[in-house]
Structure 1
Amino acid sequence: MKEQLTLLEPQLKSVFKYLHENPEISWKERRTTDYIKGILEQEGYEVHTFADSTGLYVEIGEGRPVVGLRTDIDALWQEVDGEFQAHHSCGHDAHMTMVIGVLLLLKRLKRTWRGTIRVLFQPAEEKGQGALSFVDRGLVDDMDYLFGVHVRPVQELSDGTFCPALYHGASRLLCGQINGVESHAARPHLGKNAIEIGASLIEALKTIHIDTMIPFSVKVTKFQAGGESGNIIPAKAYFTIDVRAQTNEGIEQLHDGIERTIRAIESLYEVSIDLQEQVRVAAAEVDDEAKDIIEQAIIESVGEEYLRPPVITPGGEDFHFYTVKRANVKAAMLGLGCGLTPGLHHPKMTFNKDQLIVGVEILARTVLGAFAQAEKEALSC
């Protein structure tokens, strides 16, 4: 396997270079989809695309078990060197490169297995919507296993170390509008100041508590009110609340608390406050069997000394919607330690690209290990 990986390395470096230099935001990954489709069709794979969406998938083999491998394909929209642009600062260019590498490697290994490999190139992870769209298409309904990968910052994994599961937290992004009453600043008693109402809301949100054993946070991350004139009591204010909890149960409790808090502020000031959910991401539901398969793949690829325990991280990943929506799927996500600094979503994020080829090997061994595990279970029945 390692000999074939060495031969593939120059091609994968070229793939990464293209993907990194041509980022596209959620639901607009058209060139990315076409580029991946072209590579895989050139390798002889039958590629399935969608008339109404970006993204694609590939199937190899037939029958059960069905072993899935998923990568996200979208980029962030952020300010880089003073200019807003699409930018791969979350590592999706690396994830795509590794998953493409697995497909290229499996073809060259010419190994056989009993069952189906289904590889998902999923759009719109950053919007928290892409996984749900693939669930709606039925792409995981018959899956037995599903594996993913994510590069990790040095605060979680040092360069050249790997973990068999990532316990991401749940998150929600809520957008709201305060509907007060405008008046002259000299007559504030005739108005209902949206800024004052917002200040009360921000303070009230700090009183929301859940089980202290569950890490959580609730904070206002955007607040806009007022116009050009400073002598007008503003009626409208717009805000965003970022909500996070390490468990799916915790995030539900926080959401309920936010709803109660907003209703209380409405009653106190006799105004209306509109609230809408913009983004929802589920917390990880990791399967122990899937985790053990990745762990064995790490040991076989780099040795036990480079294996690290599963990482608990406050970040979010829509990968976990697959298991929340389809509990029959045994899923886990490989954590790739690659010297990533200064952090995910930072405009200057960088990492050791040499670890991508290691990631390809671990993921390939993971997929093959899942088939071996399924065959072992079948023989024991």
Structure 2
Amino acid sequence: MRVWPAADYTRVTLENDSNLKTNHFIVKDPERLVVDIEGIDLNPTLKQLVAKIQSNDPYIKGVRVGQNRPNVVRLVFDLKEEVNPQVFTLAPVGEYKHRLIFDLYPVNPVDPLAALIEKGEWPTQPALPEPETRPQPKAEPRNSAEAQARREAPEEKQGTTRMVTIALDPGHGGEDPGAIGRSGSREKDVVLAIAKRLKAKIEQQPNMRVMLTRDGDFFVPLHVRVQKARQVQADLFVSIHADAFVEPTARGSSVFVLSEKGASSTAARWLATKENAADLIGGVNIKHHDRQLASVLLDLSTTAQINDSLKLAKAVLGEIGGINRLHKGAVEQAGFAVLKAPDIPSILIETAFISNPEEEAKLTDDAYQDQMANAVLTGIRKYFARNPPLAKSRMM
């Protein structure tokens, strides 16, 4: 029994030796989700679910577990608000056996863009001006009235004046731990820590804000990561990983962009295939999956997006090379599903190999995480200095 509370949704997972059949329904006033699980009897593991519901869970107030009738156990989730439940099963994969999943989504989910706007500080100066550009001295008008009018008039804006939005995507999460190092370090924890450090540094920059695709330990499907970035009209999408290889000697950092024509190397193809399997490990409700929307996201990537992504990737790779050995000296390309937003320059950073004991130690070190965040930020700033963001609607 596992519980994954998050602002996006709460997931409850029951893992079992065999497939479980269920019936579920909602009861109103007060809101409750009732789930009948067939083919099992009440046991100590099921009773443990009561203690696993935390008081700060956004959607579950508590749970009651009982034997409803022979071979049928009933779970009653007392809810804090109205939810849209998704109840589904997952076939065994990786180290998991049969899983029964309850995903409790709010009926009125938070709009990522509205959340950014609510806490955002609006620009008072041009966003990320070219470093070579220096303001020219202004000639003060001789007429005192004209001078006073100029002082009271709004400052004339040079370049683009708007918030730059960066989507940071810590890989894996929740049911999907990602790669695991020899000392037990989990990729999902390491990359979230780096992403949070990077977020804090970016938000110290003028006119820059950040949306995290996940800010805690919960699973986010690949296409939802892309959707979140598009919902906030992100200017960049940066996916952060720390993968493993079959050989513990593999080491070094890498930066990847999307490829429409095949991978740039066998290793890149292997890695993309592995990352694209995250939905199988994390668990996606195929029946509820918006396949049409997902296919649009995966098929509309353009040459322009890839070209911009390459520019960003080269800038970031150059900075990362200053703090860690590079696995490859050039940007690599492969068909990563998470990089397929058609209108957002997108990169995937492999910060280091968690399967390499030396690099695992780096990845869990505060100083290295800070250095990695600084390097990525510097790369992003260099990219924008050479490729200023285009104007967008003032609603942003």
Tell me the TM-score normalised to structure 1 length: 0.41
Structure that is richer in helix per residue: 1
Higher relative contact order (CA 8 A, sep 6+): 1
Structure that is richer in strand per residue: 1
Tell me the TM-score normalised to structure 2 length: 0.40
